Amino acid sequence: MTVTAVRKAPQRLTLTVEAEFDASVERIWQLWADPRKLERWWGPPTYPATFTKHDLAPGGRIEYHMTGPAGDQPHGYWDVLEVEPPRRILLRGGIANADGTPNTDTPISTIRVGIEEIARGRTRMSIENVFPSTEAMEQVLAMGTEEGQSQAVSQIDAILAEETSSARSRGEPL
Amino acid sequence: MVVIVQIAKADFDPVFAALADHTRRDIVRRAISAEEGVLELASHYPMSFAAVQKHVAVLERAGLITKQRIGRRKVVRTNPEALLVARRLLDQYEELWRARIDRMNELIAETAGAIDTVETKESKR
């Protein structure tokens, strides 16, 4: 299990998740900085994400959509408020219209990402998610994010356990 | 946290705006036990009674607390429903991020495999 801490503050509608990875800071950074990597983990297998714009620079914009099993395509966007490669990102965004423009009727949430080395080849990532309201959380959750989730977790756990143990037994870097 | 609150302030709904203040969050926490009136609550903070009264009014308007009469006293009580809804949604969000982190892990393992393959090929030459 790589998630090391979860903090929830319902009074502030804030969720903080910390995870540790056997990988360098640079490789964890690439999970966010490379859109092709980002879309591999953002949505569950049943709702894969496609990033059509990915300008990870202060003032930049990230646009994506997810594709559901019935062909439905909910859109989302992030405004990049702060970036400090390879350690820090602050994003603010929400639901978008089909043309990628923000849907101004829907609430906005923020994601703060922190990446730090805790030992050689071991990296901690923290994600702080702040929601403006319970409605905002419901809307984002409704974006195809629940379906297929438990299934993905068990599949990936199995794959990961296999790959990690085989790599370790070969004495190869992870 | 403070930075985020300032940035997104304009977009907050009344509930979240009410909770964006430290004193008001503390009042919500204290009022869960519904033992104190506004006067008793005010004694916990280095500010005037009127200032605390204003905070209580903001929370009341947002539906986060209610004033309840117990005999001759009026106590301030947190409305737990609003907080419970938020808690349940945060639980779902935790699952969402756990699943994402699992997928990140898979990706890292895969990339490591690719690097290993390249290295192995090179070392064979």
Say whether both B47 and B8 belong to one domain: yes
Residue B69: strand pairing partners: B74
Say whether both B6 and B61 belong to one domain: yes
Contact A128 B1 (CB under 8 A): yes
Chain A / chain B CB contacts < 8 angstroms: 157
Say if CB B13 and CB A132 are below 8 A apart.
yes
With vertex at residue A107, the alpha carbon angle to CA A103 and CA A111, rounded to the nearest 5 degrees, is 105
Would you place residue A59 in the very low, low, confident or very high pLDDT band (cuts 50, 70, 90)?
very high
Chain A neighbors of B110, CB-CB under 8 A = 163
Say whether both B69 and B92 belong to one domain: no
Q: Length of chain A, please?
A: 174
pLDDT at B1: 26
pLDDT at A35: 96
pTM, two decimals, is 0.66
ipTM over 0.90: no
Condensed to tens digits (0 to 9), the pLDDT of residues B42-91 reads 999 999 999 999 999 999 988 889 999 988 889 999 887 777 777 777 88
pLDDT at B36: 93
Would you place residue B115 in the very low, low, confident or very high pLDDT band (cuts 50, 70, 90)?
low
Mean of the per-residue pLDDT values of chain A: 80
Would you place residue B33 in the very low, low, confident or very high pLDDT band (cuts 50, 70, 90)?
confident
User: Does the structure show a pLDDT above 80 at A170?
Assistant: no
pLDDT at B15: 67
A98 or B13: whose pLDDT is higher?
A98
- Which residues form the domain of A96? 13-167
Tell how many helices (H) and how many strands (E) occur in chain B.
6, 2
Q: Which of B5, B13, B16 to mutate to test the interface with A (most CBs of A within 10 A)?
A: B16
Say if CB B33 and CB B81 are below 8 A apart.
no
Contact A40 B103 (CB under 8 A): yes
Say whether both B96 and B69 belong to one domain: no
Task: Provide the CATH number for the domain around residue B65.
Answer: 1.10.10.10
pLDDT at A143: 60
- CB-based contact (8 Å) between B122 and chain A? no
The candidate with the shortest Cα–Cα distance to A62, out of A92, A30, A85, is: A92
- CB-based contact (8 Å) between A118 and chain B? no
Condensed to tens digits (0 to 9), the pLDDT of residues A1-32 reads 589 999 888 777 888 999 999 999 999 999 99
Contact B108 A159 (CB under 8 A): no
Say whether both B45 and B10 belong to one domain: yes
Condensed to tens digits (0 to 9), the pLDDT of residues A124-137 reads 999 999 887 776 66
Chain A neighbors of B80, CB-CB under 8 A = none
**pLDDT over 90 for what percent of chain B?**
35
Specify the number of domains making up chain B: 2
Condensed to tens digits (0 to 9), the pLDDT of residues B84-110 reads 777 777 888 888 899 999 999 999 988
Chain A neighbors of B20, CB-CB under 8 A = 12
- Which residues form the domain of B64? 2-78
The candidate with the shortest Cα–Cα distance to B56, out of B94, B24, B84, B99, is: B24
Say whether both B50 and B104 belong to one domain: no
Specify the number of domains making up chain A: 1
Q: Which of A27-41, B1-15, B57-71 bottoms out in mean pLDDT, i.e. has the lowest?
A: B1-15
Shortest Cα–Cα distance, A7 to chain B (Å):
9
Task: Provide the CATH number for the domain around residue A43.
Answer: 3.30.530.20
pLDDT at A153: 36
Both tokens of A163, joined, read 């790959």
The residue from B62, B78, B94 where one domain ends is B78
Chain A neighbors of B28, CB-CB under 8 A = 11
Chain B window 51-80: which residues touch A at a Cβ cutoff of 8 Å? Answer: none
User: Does the structure show a pLDDT above 70 at A150?
Assistant: no
pLDDT at B13: 57
Say whether both B84 and B116 belong to one domain: yes
- CB-based contact (8 Å) between A145 and chain B? yes
- CB-based contact (8 Å) between B10 and chain A? no
Would you place residue A162 in the very low, low, confident or very high pLDDT band (cuts 50, 70, 90)?
very low
**CA distance linking residue A174 with residue A86, whole number of Å:** 19
A152 or B101: whose pLDDT is higher?
B101
